[in-house]
Amino acid sequence: MQNDHEEPVGSAPGAGAGRRARAVMVLGTSSGAGKSWLATALCRWYARQGLRVAPFKAQNMSNNARVVAAAGADAPAGEIGSAQYFQALAARAVPDVRMNPLLLKPERDTHSQVVLMGRVDAALGATPWRGRSARVWPVVAAALDALMHDNDVVVIEGAGSPAEINLSDVDIVNMRVAEHAAAACLLVTDIDRGGAFAHLYGTWALLPPAQRGLLRGFVLNKFRGDAALLDPGPRLLQQRTGVPTVATLPMWREHGLPEEDGMFDERAVTAAGEVRLRVAVVAFPHISNLDEFAPLRNVPGLSLHWVRTPSQIDGWGARDWIILPGSKSTSADLAWLRRQGMDRAVAAHAQRGAPVLGICAGLQMLGEAMIDPHGIDGNGPGLGLLPLVTTFAQDKTVVQTRASFGTVRGVWQPLSGLEVRGYEIHHGHSAEHPAMAAAGRHGHPVMASGLAWQDDSGNVLGVYLHGLFEDGAVMQALFGVYTPTLDAVFDGLADHAERHFDAGVLASLLR
């Protein structure tokens, strides 16, 4: 819906075949200020004006990734950060690797796997941080230029802060991108943290004058209370900087968009109604794809917990679930699980006949052993709850998958025969352990190609597919409910932005 006070934006410069798009960029005073949230809202808002829209983030650091189409028709699928995947859906665009050309997936505190244009680049991963920008910038610029050529509007998300002056000489994600795209920039800050006006002014002051000229508005995010109390802050800030405050966005925790970095609240999250089911997701140090559990927050009567110690699941009953999620470093996180004593807690839960679900790396951990002939992740024993052996392969599997469950037993029985959609991001494959099978203990494949397995009792299930809880049919089968669609979430974000931005601002960013 177009704001009654907005001018039509369908004829904005950049609209039309063969013409360069206009770029709108969301910068932040810090990580967590609300860049991803706002960029997603703008993608949907501009798409609702009848414009062809694409998101872009030059470099993202996150272990939350999605499988998307490659830039070329004959190229294999690749990975981008989950935030840009959701932004593409909000823009009603097909997600592709150009939207996030560089993805850094942390493997430990001092090293990340480098994914360039959707594929792992080991040589780039071995290159020192400051030596990467010269090699990567041409790829980043080409991806942005291609999106600018194919669309009317490109909504760009920055990273961290544009005023990180220690990194400005190797910047490839903030002001260098803004200048390349001649972007109209918004600077958003988290007012709930305090010091918002200082954060905005300090960021502006540290930018060179030419870059300050790209700032078209300040945005106060996560505001609680009476907006009249902000006076005269915005007016004084504009007097000092020449930049108006164009929006004050109220705090809104229930917007439904998964967090960009998969950040979680360690407090339990319980949807409406009496608690009937507790679900614990083990929060490994290198947990990945945490955002896929966001739909569980909306299941009535379900209490979602992030756990790191056995005491957090003491006294849990035979109906409650434990989930071992994905991991960027399976062997390291399994070692952490043992140091915490969580291995014994998970085993005891399974021995009581209670449900245990392993997803991707979680499936691998549930097996008897992991074999690593290529030095990918490490050899070692698993938890022994599924009679499987995992062999890590040199090449990573990155693919969107549609498959059907076979006959599934136990609490998972409602999944039987269900066709599901998801995505795979993993090294290697898992198969029945030959010695254990010979001794009479078998793994039961419940999906083709070894994508899902159960134990003899049926309470332990392991699957390679990510995204099961984002499949409406799975949610209906397991919980008898449909959670809000992502499309409804995107419309809600756009409505929220439209209500709280000054009239005419969003359209004016395209002029």
Exposure of 221 in the CB half-sphere (CA atoms within 13 A):
28
Residue ranges of domains in the chain, CATH in brackets: 22-255+489-508 (3.40.50.300), 269-483 (3.40.50.880)
* Residues in contact with 414: Cβ distance below 8 Å, sequence separation at least 6, in sequence order: 408, 477, 478
In this prediction, residue 64 carries a pLDDT of 83
In this prediction, residue 508 carries a pLDDT of 97
In this predicted structure, the answer to whether residue 386 has a pLDDT above a threshold of 70 is yes
Q: Is 458 exposed, middle or buried (0-12, 13-18, 19+ CB in 10 A)?
A: middle
Extract the tokens encoding 366.
């549930």
Summarize the confidence of residues 284-308 as an average pLDDT.
Answer: 89
Q: How many Å is the Cα radius of gyration of the chain?
A: 24
Extract the tokens encoding 365.
């951990």
Amino acid in the structure at residue 45: W
Orientation angle between helical segments 342-351 and 330-340, nearest 10 degrees: 80
* Residues in contact with 455: Cβ distance below 8 Å, sequence separation at least 6, in sequence order: 350, 385, 386, 387, 443, 444
The residue from 43, 286, 360, 500 that is catalytic is 360
Q: What is the pTM of this model?
A: 0.79
For 487-497, write each residue's pLDDT tens digit.
Answer: 888 999 999 99
* Residues in contact with 254: Cβ distance below 8 Å, sequence separation at least 6, in sequence order: none
Summarize the confidence of residues 313-341 as an average pLDDT.
Answer: 93
Query: What is the distance of C-alpha 79 from the center of its chain?
Result: 11
Extract the tokens encoding 347.
């085993």
- Cβ(326)–Cβ(423) below 8 Å: no
In this prediction, residue 269 carries a pLDDT of 65
Summarize the confidence of residues 457-478 as an average pLDDT.
Answer: 93
Beta bridge partners of 398: 425
**Cβ–Cβ contacts within 10 Å for residue 490, how many?**
25
Of 289, 290, 383, 264, nearest in space to 335 by CA: 383
- Return the minimum-mean-pLDDT range out of 11-25, 358-372, 477-491: 11-25
Report the C-alpha gap between 224 and 295 in whole angstroms: 26
Report the C-alpha gap between 5 and 235 in whole angstroms: 23
| % of the chain at pLDDT higher than 70 | 91
Summarize the confidence of residues 440-457 as an average pLDDT.
Answer: 90
In this predicted structure, the answer to whether residue 10 has a pLDDT above a threshold of 50 is no
In this predicted structure, the answer to whether residue 8 has a pLDDT above a threshold of 60 is no
Give 481 or 265, the one with higher predicted confidence.
481
Find the farthest-apart pair of alpha carbons in the chain and give their distance in angstroms, rounded: 79
In this predicted structure, the answer to whether residue 53 has a pLDDT above a threshold of 90 is yes
Could you confirm whether 466 is annotated as catalytic?
Answer: yes
Helix ranges restricted to H, 19-95 = 35-47, 82-90
The residue from 286, 433, 444, 466 that is catalytic is 466
Q: Which residue has the tokens 């979430």?
A: 489
Summarize the confidence of residues 9-32 as an average pLDDT.
Answer: 71
In this predicted structure, the answer to whether residue 441 has a pLDDT above a threshold of 70 is yes
* Arithmetic mean of pLDDT over the chain: 88
DSSP letter assigned to residue 77? P
Query: 14 pLDDT band (50/70/90 cuts)?
Result: very low
- Return the minimum-mean-pLDDT range out of 107-116, 129-138, 142-151, 212-221: 107-116
- Return the minimum-mean-pLDDT range out of 3-17, 109-123, 293-307, 471-485: 3-17
- Return the minimum-mean-pLDDT range out of 36-40, 231-235, 363-367, 440-444: 440-444
- Return the minimum-mean-pLDDT range out of 91-95, 152-156, 272-276, 421-425: 272-276
Report the C-alpha gap between 100 and 70 in whole angstroms: 11
Could you confirm whether 43 is annotated as catalytic?
Answer: no
In this prediction, residue 63 carries a pLDDT of 82
Extract the tokens encoding 269.
């999250």
Summarize the confidence of residues 172-179 as an average pLDDT.
Answer: 96
In this prediction, residue 148 carries a pLDDT of 96
Q: Is 312 exposed, middle or buried (0-12, 13-18, 19+ CB in 10 A)?
A: middle
Cα-based distances in Å from 470 to 99, 183, 467, 484? 22, 34, 5, 10
Extract the tokens encoding 201.
């002014």
Of 193, 192, 242, 191, nearest in space to 219 by CA: 191
DSSP characters over 326-352: EESSHHHHHHHHHHHTHHHHHHHHHHT
Strand, coil or helix: what is 217? strand
Query: What is the distance of C-alpha 171 from the center of its chain?
Result: 23
